Amino acid sequence: MSTHPNQNPCPVAGIVLILAAAATAALPSSAAAQVVEHSGEIEGVVCDAGTGEPLAGSLVQVVGAATTAITHGDGTFHLTGIEKGSYTIRLERLGYRGRTMEVEVGEEGAFVEVGLEPSPIALQGLVVTGAITQRGAGEALRPVSVLAGEELQRRMRGTVARTLASMPGLAESNMGPATSRPVIRGLSGDRVLMLEDGGRVGDVSSTGADHATAVDPSSARRIEVVRGPAALLYGSNALGGVINVIRDEIPSAVPHHPTGAASLHMQTVTGALAGSGSATFAATERIPLRFEVNGRTAGDLRTPVGELANTDGETLNGGAGGALVADWGHLGGSVRGYRNHYGIPGGFVGGHAAGVRIEMERFASRVQAAIDELDGPFSSVEVDGAYTWYRHKELESANIIGTLFRLQTLNGDLLARHEAWGPFAGGAIGTRVAWEDFGFGGSGVAPTHTPDAQRSTVAAYVFEEIELGAARIETGLRYDWVFVSPEFRDPDSDIGEIRDRTFHAASASLGLLYSMGAGMTVGASLARAFRTPDVNELFSEGPHLAAYTFEVGNPSLGTEQGTGVDVFTRFESTRLRAELTGFYNRISGYIYGEETGKLSRVLLPIYQFQSNDALLTGFEGSLDGDLGRGFALRAVVSSVRGTLTDKDRPLPLIPPVRGRVGLEYARPTWFMGMETEMAEGQDRIGTFESPTDGYTVFNASAGVRVTLRGRLNVVTLSLDNVTNTEYRNHLSRIKELMPEAGRGLSMTYRVVF
């Protein structure tokens, strides 16, 4: 076996290994061989580099593969299914600095002993979103943020958007706590693509401010965010960016022992109680299985001036997945069910005084096949197929459906990767086909006249990388065809000619990353992306009950064409990580709902969909610094300016300049910190939009990490809005009714095994 490094950084664990070796020597020779020789595995032990104490709950993963392991109470781990060759492994643990190392695996496997250094900051790990191969976050050619480990647990809230709101470039819009939706660089809705394990979610969250995202973040292993146009790999709807919630629902490697996590979350400001649990284990030596269940219940939101009525909700979801893992790759599948019932507050013009109740259900299934280490031009091929059924009901009362949305999606993806090939260091080609069936209905006072419709998509793309010493270039090209067909045609409709529509567009990207040495990296990317108008923007004609709007479509809308430029610089060392990005995003044919200032016959504000050119520019920065003696400084700033260039007036619903600064004191077994959240006032507003004042809010957090029965247990306490400040989120649709949440204590308990 190969051992790296030669010195023993884990003396306590070494004693354990010596005792194990002595016990092995007393066994018959055949049994001893079974213990000593573990062909096809990387074994090892992880410990505190200073004390030598073993570290339970450390994450160990093979870079570029889905093979992972969690260390036992004695710090040991086993990575299975490893063939002879050279590998890069990444090790991460709460309270310690992550480490990447090279391992040579021989005929009898390999053994490593790794010491991790305590650190109050956890440098970002690996990312898979927006790239063809798994890479370190610092090597990404686009601005990428990762929320994982302790930081994910500390920021965890009931929605993905609220969980990510503290990241650079991100904000949240809402009509209550359940409807919180992500905003990236001023773009939201259908321009921000939501993914689960790389696949589209398949809900209607992008079509209304009242629509919740059908993704529960509580069981996520990590969440990755690509800021800026990313349509090359994902197609339409990625003008603003991509958010990928990663759970690994389909396991692609057989764990040596059962792994998973369980958590309990409580929050006083909503009276929320939530729990989640997931586990992956080996049913046979070739078949891993994964099961998960999550539930959450919450009451009305409490603000500094009172409760916001009808904002309670209940969420329940779960999933199961499994695979056959063979020498050639894996074949697997998963199923997931999701249910979310919640309230939308009343008080808007045309709205119900008591608000509206929403019931949404989603069922998703997925199959995946991957063939690895092929001979020939391609090194691997991956095929994904998914089917999603979704229903969304907006209830005027217990038995009256005011508005109904239905959606079925069926899609397939093929991705073939290659390694060094001519001038290219690596690359991929891919295709995608998708079919969506949209249904609309309602039995309220003003039923919708929006026709049901189908949308089909066919796409193909190529993506290549070129290595030039300290520089790396990424380039790619994609072409999409989109066909939209309404249930009926009407040349004389009040909103225009309702007819079949065909859209097609090319996407392209070019990126450069240059390492200047000493931890400094600079990069730039140019991307051209597009977005087709959704069915609501084309054909809607009727009330949207929970959003309290009367929406009027435009069947003649064209595609949005976006040209985005990002220029960034990064610095990363053992004690400092910093990144500063400037961006420019010009969108021709930007589609938006223009408030006309008129009321419909049922007294709802009329919104007319139209298009104009738009320009969004801004910057974002982040800093994580180890100040020594256990102290760490964290800072984030984001700024975006949006303009409708044809009309030379501000783009509506653009977040103000926002930032956070925090100071933390951390030890391997506990931490505590304070954070200041700030926002400037926003008076650069669109038509019929009201300005908001700036604010400063203080937050505090503390936690402990304890190893019990060989498992890592983490308890986190967070006190948000310590001074019970009354403030408004500019992107909230209910800011005139109530301010944001008041003082609230959150507690999260999580055990990793």
pLDDT at 24: 37
What is the mean predicted confidence (pLDDT) over 431-455?
83
DSSP 724: -
pLDDT at 131: 77
Angle at 475 between CA 470 and CA 478, to 5 degrees: 165
What is the distance in angstroms between the CA of the first residue and the CA of the last residue of the chain?
27
| Model confidence band, residue 175 (pLDDT cutoffs 50, 70, 90) | confident
Tell me which residue of 128, 1, 156 sits closest to 65, measured CA to CA. Answer: 128
Long-range contacts made by residues 643-647, C-beta under 8 angstroms, separation at least 24? 643/614, 643/615, 643/616, 644/590, 644/612, 644/613, 644/614, 644/686, 645/612, 645/613, 645/614, 645/615, 646/612, 646/613, 647/612
Tens digit of each residue's pLDDT (9 = 90 or more) over 377-428: 899 999 999 999 999 998 877 678 878 899 999 999 999 999 888 889 999 9
What is the mean predicted confidence (pLDDT) over 461-477?
94
Mean pLDDT for the chain overall: 89
Tell me which residue of 198, 207, 190, 196 sits closest to 160, measured CA to CA. Answer: 196
Phi, psi of 306 (to 5 degrees): 135, 180
Q: For the chain, what percent of residues have pLDDT higher than 70? A: 93
Tens digit of each residue's pLDDT (9 = 90 or more) over 230-254: 767 887 778 889 999 999 999 999 9
Instruction: Answer for the pair 614, 645: CB distance below 8 angstroms, yes or no.
Output: yes
Q: For the chain, what percent of residues have pLDDT higher than 90? A: 67
- DSSP notation for 565-615: EEEEEEEE-SSEEEEEEEEEEEEEEEEEEEEEEEE-TTSPEEEEEEEEEEE
pTM value? 0.91
The secondary element (H helix, E strand) that includes residue 507 is strand 501-517
| Model confidence band, residue 348 (pLDDT cutoffs 50, 70, 90) | low
What is the mean predicted confidence (pLDDT) over 73-96?
91
Q: Which of 133-147, 199-213, 571-585 has the highest mean pLDDT?
A: 571-585
pLDDT at 8: 60
Tell me which residue of 674, 677, 634, 643 sits closest to 658, measured CA to CA. Answer: 677
Q: Is the pLDDT of residue 107 over 80?
A: yes
The answer to whether the bond into 5 is cis (omega within 30° of 0) is yes
pLDDT at 19: 45
Of residues 580 and 595, more confidently modeled = 580
Map out the domains of the chain with their CATH numbers: 2-118 (2.60.40.1120), 135-752 (2.40.170.20)
pLDDT at 148: 86
Tokens, residue 228: 């800026």
| Model confidence band, residue 672 (pLDDT cutoffs 50, 70, 90) | very high
* Alpha-carbon gap, residue 508 to 475, rounded angstroms: 8
pLDDT at 599: 81
Instruction: Answer for the pair 115, 44: CB distance below 8 angstroms, yes or no.
Output: no
| Model confidence band, residue 351 (pLDDT cutoffs 50, 70, 90) | low
What is the mean predicted confidence (pLDDT) over 673-677?
97
Distances 688 to 320, 653, 685 between C-alpha atoms, Å: 47, 11, 8
| Model confidence band, residue 666 (pLDDT cutoffs 50, 70, 90) | very high
| Model confidence band, residue 646 (pLDDT cutoffs 50, 70, 90) | confident
pLDDT at 693: 97
Instruction: Answer for the pair 697, 659: CB distance below 8 angstroms, yes or no.
Output: no
Q: Is the pLDDT of residue 548 over 90?
A: no
Q: Is the pLDDT of residue 257 over 50?
A: yes
pLDDT at 448: 62
pLDDT at 520: 96
Q: Is the pLDDT of residue 149 over 90?
A: no
pLDDT at 686: 85
Of residues 418 and 141, more confidently modeled = 418
Strands (E), 629-738: 631-644, 649-650, 658-667, 670-679, 695-708, 711-720
Tens digit of each residue's pLDDT (9 = 90 or more) over 682-712: 999 987 789 999 999 999 999 999 999 889 9
Q: Is the pLDDT of residue 21 over 70?
A: no
| Model confidence band, residue 15 (pLDDT cutoffs 50, 70, 90) | low
Q: Which of 6-10, 227-231, 544-548, 680-684 has the highest mean pLDDT?
A: 680-684
pLDDT at 390: 97
| Model confidence band, residue 533 (pLDDT cutoffs 50, 70, 90) | very high
pLDDT at 5: 40
* Alpha-carbon gap, residue 698 to 678, rounded angstroms: 9
